[in-house]
Amino acid sequence: MAPQQQHKQQHKQQEKKYTTTTGIVCQFCNKVFASKNLVFRHLRDASTTCGNTIIETGQKLPDAPSKIKKHKKKEIAKALRTSRRRKKTGQAKQNIDPASTLWFGDLPLPYTRMGGQYKRLRAVLKEYLPRDVPPPWIKKVIRKGYRKGGKKSIDEKERGDYYGYAIIVFRDAEEAKNVMTAMDGTVIESKMVFPSEPSIITPDFSTFVLKVNNVQHNNNDNDDANSSNNNNNNNYNKRDSVTTSGDQDPPLIDQLRPLSTPELQKRCQYMKDRLLKTGGKVFVPPARETSAEDNNSEDNNEKKKSENYTASQEHDKMLDLALSLYDAIGPRQERLYKGRVVPESIRDNLVHLLKSVRWPAESHRKGLTSDNYLVLQTNITKDRFYNDLRLGCRELMDWVDPNYYYSGIAVTKNFVASPHIDDRDQSFQYAVSLGEFNEGGGELCVEGNNNNNNGGGDDGDGDGRVDYVNVVETRNRIAKVDGRNVHWVRSWNGTADRYSLIFYDTTDRHQTDIINTGVDVTFLKEIK
C-alpha cells in the first residue's frame, strides 16, 4: 500500500475511533473528535468530505490550536501592559536637549546586551567617564546597528561584523561636550572594565576603540520621552498647559487607583451599608464589557493562568463600584492645615541651591508627573554632585527635628497631581515646598481616615464614609505627613516653578505605625 493511501486509511480509522458522544464536534459534518488538533487535521485533509469542500470552495481554514493559543497569550500580555499603564497616575517629563545627547558607537555586541539594564555598558561608563560626571541616562541601545569594514577578504562577499551603538543623555550641553572630548577615540580595555571578573575576558570582549559623536535627533527618538499622551494628560496637570488654573485636583478615579483591592472592597462595603441604612440607593455599575470569547470556559481558564491579569480585572471592578458609591454620597470632606514656617535664612539658602541644581537627565521616578525628580540617598558619603544641597537639607532638619532619621530625600521641580502611595516607607515624612509660585494652589493633599481600627465607623457626620482629604499649605512651610496614605499635589496658577523636598525613611531603624489621619495634627496648624 502506498504511503499516501496508508495515511488516508489511518486517518479514516482515526475518525471512526473518535466519533463518540463526547469531544470536539466538527462544525461541518458533526463528527466528534477527541481534541481540537484532530478536528484541525480533519478539516485540512483533502481526502475527507469536509476538507475537500473547504479546499474546493476556497473557504478559510480555521486557525490551528497552537496559533489560537499563541494569539491568546499575546492578548493577555497586551492586557497586562495596558493594566500597568492604567495604574500609573502620572508621567515624568523627560526634557531631551539634542545638545546634551551623544552617540556612542563601535560597541562590540557583548557590550550591548540588555542584561542588568545594560550592566556591561554601564561598567564601561563607570570606568571611563570623567570623575565629575554622574551616571547618565542610557536612553536607547541598538544591538546590531551597522557593519564595519566592508568585505572580509577579496574572495568573500560577506561584510564585516555587526556593531552596536547607544544614545546617551547627559545633564546639559556643557557636560556632554566635555564627555565627548574626553572619551571619543578612547581605547576600551576589558581588563580595566572587569578587573574582578577575569573569566569574563574572552575574545568577544576584545579591546576596542570607542567612537563618540553628537547625535542628530530623529523626531521619533523623542516620542517616549516628550509625548504629552500620558495617563496624567488632564487639565489639572499644570505642566501640560501654562494656562491651567490653580486648586485643581486629579480626577477621583486617579485618587482611588493607588488603593489596594482589599481596601477598595472595604470602603465599598461600608458605603453600601451606610446608604442602605439611610434609605439611599446603591447603584452597581455594569460589569466591564466582555466578548463571547471571554465567556468561554476554556478561554477563561487560559486567562486564569495569569494571576496578575485576574487581579487587575478585580481591581478595575472594585474601582468602578467605588466611583459609583462616591458619586452617590458626594464630595469628600476637606480639612485645611498649614505647615510650620521655615526660617527665612534656611529657606533662601535652599531656594538658591535648588535653582542651581544640575538635574539628572533621567527622572528618578518616572511614574509621577514632574519636570525633574532627583533622589538623594542618605547612605552616600562624599557626594561629588549634590553635597551642597545635602548640607542645606540637613540644616533644615536640624531645625525642625534633629532626631529624625531619613534614608532619602526626594527633590522635585514642578511635581503636580500624581496620586500615589509610598508603600516602601517605614515611617512618616517631612514635606516642604519652595519657590515663587502663587498661593492658592500647590497644596499637598493627603487622604485621612477616621477609622483607627481599619473597620467601619466615622466621626459622626453621617456622610457614610470614613475617609477625607487633608489639604496642607506647604509653601515655605514644612509639614509632617504619612506617605503611606494616598497623596498628591494640587495645581497652581502661573508659570513660576515649585520645588519640593520630601524627607522619608524606607529602613526598619525607626519604624512607626501608619498615621491614619494622614497628617500629624499636633504638628500642623488647622485653618478654621
Query: Domains of the chain (ranges plus CATH)?
Result: 3-62 (no CATH), 98-216 (3.30.70.330)
Q: How far is CA 392 from CA 64, 346, 353, 360, 367, in A?
A: 66, 7, 8, 19, 27
The per-residue pLDDT for 226 is 43
The per-residue pLDDT for 223 is 44
The per-residue pLDDT for 294 is 46
The per-residue pLDDT for 218 is 43
**CA gap 206, 263 in Å, rounded:** 55
Q: Catalogue the E-assigned strands of 108-161.
A: 137-147
Phi, psi at residue 243, to the nearest 5°?
A: -95, 5
* Helix (H/G/I), strand (E/B), else coil: 214: strand
- The whole-angstrom distance between residue 472's C-alpha and the CA centroid of its chain comes to 27
Residues in the chain with pLDDT < 70?
1-22, 60-65, 76-95, 149-159, 195-205, 216-245, 280-309, 451-465, 528
**CA gap 461, 9 in Å, rounded:** 81
**pTM score, two decimals?**
0.72
The per-residue pLDDT for 329 is 86
The per-residue pLDDT for 402 is 97
**CA gap 369, 93 in Å, rounded:** 7
